[in-house]
Amino acid sequence: MIGFDFFLDRFGVFLSALFIFIGLMSFIYALATLKKKGHRLEFYITMLLIVASGIGVALSYNLLLIFICWEISTFALWRAIGFYREKEGLSAASFAFITNFIAASIMLVGFIMLYIDNGTFNIFEIQQYNMVAVVLIMVGILAKSVTLPLHIWLVPAYKAIPSAIGGCLAGIAENLGAVLFLRLFTSSNFIAPPFFTAVAWIAIVSSLLLGGAALLSNRLRSLLAYSTISQLGFILLGFAVGGTYGTIGGLIYILAHALAKSGLFFGVGIIEDMTGKDDLSSLCSVLKISPALGVLMALLAGSIVGFFPMLGFWAKLMVVIGAVAKSTYLGIGAIIAAVFTLLYNWRFYHELFFAKPSCRLSKIKKPSYTALAVVFVLAMVSLLLGIFFYQPINYLTANGGF
Amino acid sequence: MEFWGVNIYYWIIFLPIAGGLLGFIINRLRSEFNFVALVGTLYFAIRIFLKTRGEPIFDNLAQIGSFNFRFYLDNLTGFILLFVAISAFLVWLYSLKAMSKRPRERVFYLYLSLTLAAANAVVLSGNLIFLFIFWNLLVFSLYGMLQVAKGDQDSSFAARKAITIIGVADYALMLGIVILLVTVGDVDFPVAEKLTLSNPWLITSYILIMIGALAKLGTMPLHTWIPESAKVVPASTLAFIPGSIDKLLGVYLLIRVSYFIFDISGSMSLRILLMVIGVVSIVVMALAALMQKDAQRVLAFSTVSQAGYMVLGIGTGMPVAIAGALFHMLNNVLYKSVLFMTVGSVEDRTRTTDLALLGGLGSKMPVTLFAFVIAVLAISGVPPFNGFYSKWMIYQGIISMSNQLPLWFIFLICAMFGSILTLAYSLKLLHAIFLGQKPESLNKVKEARFVMVVPPLVLALACVVFGVFANIVPLKLFVLPSLPFKIGSIGFWSPNLATILIIVGIIIGLIIYLIGTVSKPKKSRVFVGGETLNEDEARVTGIDFYSSITTFDMLDKTYSFSEGGAFDFYNYLQGAARGLAYIFKNVINYIIVGIYRSIGKIVRAMGNLTSFLHTGELYNYVGWIFLGGIILMLLLAL
């Protein structure tokens, strides 16, 4: 029923490498910026657990093992979100934990139903997909990959989590749902196509609605949270439409988004450390304080919006091609979501760095240069991978993956 | 086609990038690096131009995933590449002094090179996806370039507006290209068989790509970033981007997609759409330009208006008019750059582009005035300058549509009206800056620096040559070979005869002026409200030339609306997005959070119920046990 059921395939190695890299960047950032507030040991253990669980889900082909790693990451997130033991942090952590745990339990029921039908937890051998089981599993996936309607836990979580681990959350933990979807469902011949169309539309609606929320929100962390939810919609869309473009596009999108979102998270963390404020209405003209951060966050925001030569351009292009290949209306929905992405990202960037040029911020502490270096590395990796985009794409398509 | 062993295409794309990056990093040698890059680009462009006079050239670069990267060079490519390089070189030369000691000039040159490299790559690309990649890069480089402001002004809002509008159009372009890719399979040039617009998805694809091209070209309704940035951005940027590159690239994409990939000569409605967009841009923008009070803004609206002519010409579907549109694009690059550069020279000397503060500079800056006058005559379509020729060709195209389109004369009248308005606002600009009375503050103004005078003069000379020798130089060499069809005779144009007639006309006019009873203007003292005003205070500026238009209430209201941004696509976009966002946020908050709250309430209710049942008394529990036992036994018995 369960054993050391790990395997190496190109998709798995790709994802694991990404998770380890994000973990490394978070680690360096944490070394530089984590305030000396007790329980730092717990912090590093939590971070390692998140990375390990991510790799576990990516490399495993046994559903029960995937579930175990999934739950490890839920547990680790619970510890991480409540790290600064403040009241809102604790309630955010509980909310996140309960939502994910219940959804995962529902997903477990789905797994067990698949086991009963097929006699095995092995992904490669499962042939009969009971629609009820599929729906139950989707509940777990929706919760973990923060898609409407199970997305609510992310916004308070982002507000409470220390920015060092926020990168891990954004880059690793949130992608686990999409990874499971990729392993189990994408391009599967045993599931009826209407399911995929339904998931694709759920993803697009999630992306649109939450993109709208991002346009209106003023707190930096909430903006990041809504932005993440919106982008995860694209990833799920890519995996739902399947095909070469959709699958590879989804994987590249995971890569691009993890790099860019962690970078933005770290950048926002730096700004919070420097100015003590985390609200767009009280911040202004940050470019004057830190021009380097301005350039770097422009690159990262550009990756999310999808400007060449950042990696996000290729990700978005491939996902859109995949979507249009399935149905042009999906493509139109994806483009409208992309327009929202452009609008809210540029509003965020402009309001943060350029607005109100005449105001002066008080009490500016110097940013930690290590932290800036981490953001720089993430931006440069996005840029280089975008220019030499054939490297990841060729790697992924070389022998098919799965 | 090789140079030092590497194919020229790579040179022409990477040389500007390398030059720009090196120049940015090593600031002291910046001019040298940029010089090498730009002259090198010009050299390669000339080589490519000459090479493409024969057969088209294709070259497959790589195949990644299923993206096919290839180059495709035909006559049109060579033509546009040549003028992109010329324009970049002249703007760079001009900027050497125009941008010196301005804030952020280092970054300006970086973005200039990046834009040049991306533009070259766009023109060289043989595949719509390849083109799209670099088109996208142009959005980013445009943003960067617009962040370089004029003096100590803040151009970040204009940059944001530009990136939003162009970004949205970019997404439309992406969708159009992807739909085409998915429907047809591949989007390589040259297309073996031009697609007809039968399928609704193909029509959608065409319209989306057209939107992308029109946003770059800067016609209505996606033009508002141009006047917005014209207030705060230096003249070099304006001369380069909205003046030259955007027109070149926008027309390039529009012609490629209209006549090389699709063939819209068969689709009347699409052509009418293009013509309407063109005509509306011409007239409305020219009217807007009349009332502006800032020189660069007048020119910005003028740019949009001229772009309308190009779209109009392409939309007619008549070969003469399409050739006219291409020629008009070329002419626009020439005279628009002169106008922006000369205004920039004035600004460099006087530190202002506000028309109310300028005046009478003709005596101080004669050479600049000379170039400006030639550009004004060219843009207004006065023979024998180039503007006349290209507009004439477009008019001819419209006239030859008379049997296809019953309302053709409306388009013709609007285009000619636009031409009249062009002359009107250009003369206003001429008077307000160079003629008229000079304010005291400008007494010490000198002629523009040498490096800033040469590029406008060269371009003005080109205007004259391209006009007088229109058949020989521009049309035969550049425009006509670039089109995929042959053109019949364009008309009877004899440069020598026309020039002689015009010179004779001018001489006769001068004689009439001198013979007539013209004496020196009378001077009198001005006595207003108990005070004598001196000459400076009583100065009449040129900005109120056409203010009689504001006596029409409706026009006045329209002007104030549009100045307030009522017709601004950017505002609509933001408004719509925010409106939708508000709806979305409320949907999420009320429906979904409501569901969560209800679940919470249910769970709490269940908890309360069970805790209510746990009374703590032993006898209650014994009672429950017995009850449960009885039920179980009943069930087992049944």
pTM here is 0.87
Asked if residues A176 and A183 have their Cβ atoms less than 8 Å apart, the reply is: no
Token pair for residue B236?
């070099």
Q: How far is A9 from chain B, CA to nearest CA, in Å? A: 19
Half-sphere exposure of B39 (CA within 13 A, CB side): 7
Angle of helix A243-275 relative to helix A10-33, nearest 10 degrees, comes to 0
pLDDT for position B486: 64
- Looking at the predicted structure, is the pLDDT value of residue B87 above 60? yes
Token pair for residue A198?
């339904």
Token pair for residue A346?
């540029």
Which residue of chain B is at minimal alpha-carbon distance from A354?
Answer: B156
Strand B57-64 and strand B67-73: the pairing is antiparallel
- Looking at the predicted structure, is the pLDDT value of residue B629 above 90? yes
- Between the alpha carbon of residue B514 and those of residues A125, A198, B504, B510, the distances in Å are 101, 83, 15, 6
B65:A152 CB<8 A: no
pLDDT for position A402: 40
From chain A, pick out residues whose CB is under 8 angstroms from the CB of B65: 244, 248, 318, 390, 393-394, 397
How far is the C-alpha of A225 from the C-alpha of A206, rounded, in Å?
13
Q: How far is B147 from chain A, CA to nearest CA, in Å? A: 10
Mean pLDDT of B184-200: 71
Q: How far is A8 from chain B, CA to nearest CA, in Å? A: 22
- Looking at the predicted structure, is the pLDDT value of residue B429 above 90? no
User: Bridge-partner residues for A219, per DSSP?
Assistant: A279
- Looking at the predicted structure, is the pLDDT value of residue B538 above 80? no
Q: What is the dihedral of CA B253, B254, B259, B260, to 10 degrees?
A: 10
How far is the C-alpha of B571 from the C-alpha of A303, rounded, in Å?
25
Token pair for residue B323?
């050739």
Least confident range from B10-14, B86-90, B176-180: namely B10-14
Kindly report the number of other CB atoms within 10 A of residue A380's CB atom: 14
pLDDT for position B466: 83
Which residue of chain A is at minimal alpha-carbon distance from B138?
Answer: A308
From chain A, pick out residues whose CB is under 8 angstroms from the CB of B596: 152
How many residues make up chain A in this entry? 402
From chain B, pick out residues whose CB is under 8 angstroms from the CB of A394: 64-65
Q: Which of B17, B125, B140 should we substitute to test contact with A (largest number of A Cβ atoms within 10 Å)?
A: B140
> Confidence class of residue B3 from pLDDT cuts 50, 70 and 90?
low
From chain A, pick out residues whose CB is under 8 angstroms from the CB of B174: 316-317, 320, 335, 338
3-state class of B121 per DSSP? Answer: helix
Which residue of chain A is at minimal alpha-carbon distance from B177?
Answer: A321
Sign of CA dihedral A140, A143, A146, A148: positive
Q: What are phi and psi of B602, to 5 degrees?
A: -65, -45
Q: How far is B571 from chain A, CA to nearest CA, in Å? A: 12
- Between the alpha carbon of residue A351 and those of residues A279, A292, B160, B282, the distances in Å are 10, 17, 10, 35
How many residues make up chain B in this entry? 638
Name all contacts of A91-95 with Cβ < 8 Å and 24+ positions apart.
A91/A156, A92/A153, A92/A156, A92/A157, A92/A159, A92/A160, A93/A157, A93/A160, A95/A152, A95/A153, A95/A156, A95/A157
Which member of B137, B204, B592 has the closest CB to residue A308? B137
How far is the C-alpha of B114 from the C-alpha of B142, rounded, in Å?
9
Strand B2-3 and strand B526-528: the pairing is unpaired
Kindly report the number of other CB atoms within 10 A of residue B162's CB atom: 27
Q: How far is B227 from chain A, CA to nearest CA, in Å? A: 20
User: Bridge-partner residues for B60, per DSSP?
Assistant: B70
From chain A, pick out residues whose CB is under 8 angstroms from the CB of B592: 148-149, 152
Tell me which residue of B333, B433, B326, B316 sits closest to B379, measured CA to CA: B333
Q: Which of B14, B166, B585 should we substitute to test contact with A (largest number of A Cβ atoms within 10 Å)?
A: B585
Sign of CA dihedral A26, A28, A30, A33: negative
From chain A, pick out residues whose CB is under 8 angstroms from the CB of B580: 208, 212
pLDDT for position B541: 67
Q: Which of B13, B157, B182 should we substitute to test contact with A (largest number of A Cβ atoms within 10 Å)?
A: B182
How far is the C-alpha of A327 from the C-alpha of B198, rounded, in Å?
19
In A, residues 245-304, which contact B (CB 8 Å cutoff)?
A: 248, 302
Least confident range from A108-122, B178-192, B288-302, B344-358: namely B178-192
Strand B531-533 and strand B526-528: the pairing is antiparallel
How far is the C-alpha of A210 from the C-alpha of A311, rounded, in Å?
23
Strand B57-64 and strand B6-7: the pairing is unpaired
User: Bridge-partner residues for B531, per DSSP?
Assistant: B528
Q: From the first residue on, what is the mean pLDDT of each consecutive set of 10 residues in chain A (402 residues)?
A: 79 91 91 74 89 92 90 91 85 90 92 87 81 88 86 87 84 89 80 87 90 85 90 92 86 93 90 80 76 88 88 91 88 90 88 73 76 90 87 73 42
Token pair for residue B203?
């029509």
How far is the C-alpha of B292 from the C-alpha of B363, rounded, in Å?
24
Kindly report the number of other CB atoms within 10 A of residue A193's CB atom: 9
Asked if residues A235 and A175 have their Cβ atoms less than 8 Å apart, the reply is: yes
> Confidence class of residue B270 from pLDDT cuts 50, 70 and 90?
confident
A390:B178 CB<8 A: no
Asked if residues B164 and B573 have their Cβ atoms less than 8 Å apart, the reply is: yes
Mean pLDDT of B547-557: 68
Q: What is the pLDDT of residues B297-339, one digit of tens each?
A: 889 899 999 999 999 988 888 888 888 888 899 889 998 999 9
Q: Taking CB atoms and an 8 Å cut-off, how many pairs form between chains A and B? A: 123
> Which H helix or E strand runs over A33?
helix A10-33
> Confidence class of residue B62 from pLDDT cuts 50, 70 and 90?
low
Token pair for residue B562?
């549009």
Half-sphere exposure of B62 (CA within 13 A, CB side): 7
Q: What is the pLDDT of residues B586-624, one digit of tens each?
A: 877 777 778 888 888 898 899 998 888 787 888 888 888
3-state class of B296 per DSSP? Answer: helix
Kindly report the number of other CB atoms within 10 A of residue B537's CB atom: 12
Q: What are phi and psi of A247, to 5 degrees?
A: -65, -50
A394:B163 CB<8 A: no
Asked if residues A269 and A164 have their Cβ atoms less than 8 Å apart, the reply is: yes
From chain B, pick out residues whose CB is under 8 angstroms from the CB of A324: 175, 178-179, 181-182
Q: Flag whether residue A401 sits within 8 Å of chain B, measured between CB atoms.
A: no
How far is the C-alpha of A48 from the C-alpha of A191, rounded, in Å?
35
Q: How far is B596 from chain A, CA to nearest CA, in Å? A: 9
A215:B577 CB<8 A: yes
Angle of helix B30-51 relative to helix B75-98, nearest 10 degrees, comes to 160
Which residue of chain B is at minimal alpha-carbon distance from A214?
Answer: B581
A313:B133 CB<8 A: yes
- The terminus-to-terminus CA distance of chain B in angstroms comes to 95
How far is the C-alpha of A108 from the C-alpha of A139, rounded, in Å?
10
Q: What are phi and psi of B231, to 5 degrees?
A: -70, -35
Sign of CA dihedral B311, B313, B318, B322: negative
From chain A, pick out residues whose CB is under 8 angstroms from the CB of B582: 212, 216
How far is the C-alpha of A318 from the C-alpha of B28, rounded, in Å?
42
pLDDT for position A38: 64
Q: Flag whether residue A13 sits within 8 Å of chain B, measured between CB atoms.
A: no
Asked if residues A135 and A120 have their Cβ atoms less than 8 Å apart, the reply is: no
B64:A302 CB<8 A: no
Strand B6-7 and strand B2-3: the pairing is antiparallel
A148:B582 CB<8 A: no
Asked if residues B126 and B93 have their Cβ atoms less than 8 Å apart, the reply is: no
Which member of A343, A357, A394 has the closest CB to residue B577? A343
From chain B, pick out residues whose CB is under 8 angstroms from the CB of A213: 581, 584-585, 588
Token pair for residue B614?
């746990």
A308:B578 CB<8 A: no
Q: Flag whether residue A153 sits within 8 Å of chain B, measured between CB atoms.
A: no
From chain A, pick out residues whose CB is under 8 angstroms from the CB of B209: none
Tell me which residue of A107, A206, A220 sits closest to A151, measured CA to CA: A206
3-state class of B12 per DSSP? Answer: helix
Which residue of chain B is at minimal alpha-carbon distance from A310?
Answer: B137
B156:A354 CB<8 A: yes
